[in-house]
Amino acid sequence: MTDELVAPPGLIPLAVGREAEVFMRADGNVVKLMRSPSQEERVQREAAALQALADCQHLAPAFVETTEVAGRPALVSERVSGADLLSRLSRKPWLVLQVASTLGRAHAAMHRRGAPDTLPDLRDELARRIESAAALPHKFVGQALDRLRVLPPDVRLCHGDYHPQNVLGTLKAPVIIDWGDASRGAPSADVARTLLLLRMGELPSDTSAVMRSLTAVGRGMLARRYLAVYRRHAAEKPSRLDDWMFVRAAARFNEELEVEYPRLLRLLEESP
């Protein structure tokens, strides 16, 4: 990241993202400090997800507390060592199949856990995103909402933004981070989101030209292996993925990533 990170007193800068700044506290724990006071809900969602996974073989960082720093909400959790899987791939692209396998196994393990009642319903959230996506062509709004209405509800724990950059640790002991979009929903909806990101999500701005070239070749391999391993380990096999992909692509317009619009439109136009 290129943003200059100014640490509040007593905190050591670690990283900066679009929605939050990350610091280390004197006790060694990590403080994820949201940029805006209005993001309290995201902190509470992340806290609920971490607590729900507290006994799941360290699949997520241990929750410590929620707090406030200079009027901004923050989540405190244990610090996880190890690079994220995208960084690992950028250094060793020949690990693509191992990374994909790790993604599939960890996602399947996560989906065995029921979601806390405090988390929002995923179908309701997707409907809101689709209805408020200004750049989404009107004809696709109705189609996406129609498909969403007939898709089955569920109460499994869904991450909402599961991709290689949000998995730290090692290939054998992955730790999933950034749970601000956690919800109650169907695992297939979460899988569809991950497939969408693996196949066409925009890479971070600091990604090297070499890695971009390799990604163009390896996206399909990564996505196929991830899905195959997920199917092998999941308690229930994903279903209605074409419908969930359509809904997820429509909802992605709400995030206003203009560089992705042509890819998303192509998926919507070509969807069965």
At 109, which CATH number? 3.90.1200.10
Predicted confidence at residue 206, as pLDDT, reads: 66
Q: Are residues 39 and 152 in the same domain?
A: no
Token pair belonging to 28: 């060694």
Calculate mean pLDDT across residues 218-246: 96
Token pair belonging to 207: 């990604």
Could you give the CA distance from residue 127 to residue 183 in angstroms, rounded to a whole number?
A: 13
End-to-end CA distance of the chain: 39
Q: Does 160 reside within a domain?
A: yes
Q: Are residues 123 and 168 in the same domain?
A: yes
Q: Are residues 118 and 174 in the same domain?
A: yes
Q: Are residues 70 and 173 in the same domain?
A: no
Q: Which of 77, 96, 114 is a domain's end point?
A: 77
Q: Does 6 reside within a domain?
A: no
Predicted confidence at residue 9, as pLDDT, reads: 80
Q: Does 3 reside within a domain?
A: no
Q: What percent of the chain has a predicted confidence (pLDDT) above 70?
A: 93
Beta-carbon contacts of 84 under 8 Å, excluding residues fewer than 6 positions away, are 164, 165, 166, 167, 168
Question: Which range is least confidently modeled, 86-95, 112-121, 178-187, 258-267?
Answer: 86-95
Beta-carbon contacts of 34 under 8 Å, excluding residues fewer than 6 positions away, are 19, 20, 40, 42, 43, 72, 73, 74
Q: Does 125 reside within a domain?
A: yes
Calculate mean pLDDT across residues 109-129: 97
Predicted confidence at residue 37, as pLDDT, reads: 92
Predicted confidence at residue 19, as pLDDT, reads: 87
Q: Are residues 143 and 38 in the same domain?
A: no
Predicted confidence at residue 241, as pLDDT, reads: 97
Q: Does 209 reside within a domain?
A: yes
Give residue-wise pLDDT tens across range 152-195: 999 999 999 999 999 999 999 999 999 999 999 999 999 999 99
Cβ neighbour number for residue 174 with a 10 Å cutoff: 24
Whether residue 204 has pLDDT greater than 80: no
Q: Are residues 107 and 15 in the same domain?
A: no
Q: Does 2 reside within a domain?
A: no
Q: Are residues 259 and 195 in the same domain?
A: yes
Confidence of residue 208 (pLDDT cuts 50, 70, 90): low
Give the residue numbers spanning the domain of 63: 11-77
Q: Which of 31, 54, 77 is a domain's end point?
A: 77
* Own/partner pairs, 24-29, CB within 8 angstroms, 24+ separation: 24/79, 25/76, 28/78, 28/79, 29/64, 29/76, 29/77, 29/78, 29/79
User: Contact 204/165 with Cβ under 8 angstroms?
Assistant: yes
Q: Are residues 116 and 219 in the same domain?
A: yes
Give residue-wise pLDDT tens across range 34-85: 999 999 999 999 999 999 999 887 799 999 999 999 899 999 999 998 899 9
Predicted confidence at residue 90, as pLDDT, reads: 86
Whether residue 97 has pLDDT greater than 70: yes
Would you say the pTM of this structure is higher than 0.85? yes
Count up the domains in the chain and report the number.
Answer: 2
Q: Are residues 36 and 129 in the same domain?
A: no
Q: Does 233 reside within a domain?
A: yes
Q: Which of 77, 97, 128 is a domain's end point?
A: 77
Q: Are residues 220 and 149 in the same domain?
A: yes
Q: Are residues 90 and 199 in the same domain?
A: yes
Give me the CATH number covering residue 34: 3.30.200.20
Classify residue 248 by burial, with Cβ atoms within 10 Å: 0-12, 13-18, 19+.
buried
Whether residue 213 has pLDDT greater than 60: yes
Q: Are residues 107 and 66 in the same domain?
A: no
Confidence of residue 214 (pLDDT cuts 50, 70, 90): low
Q: Does 1 reside within a domain?
A: no
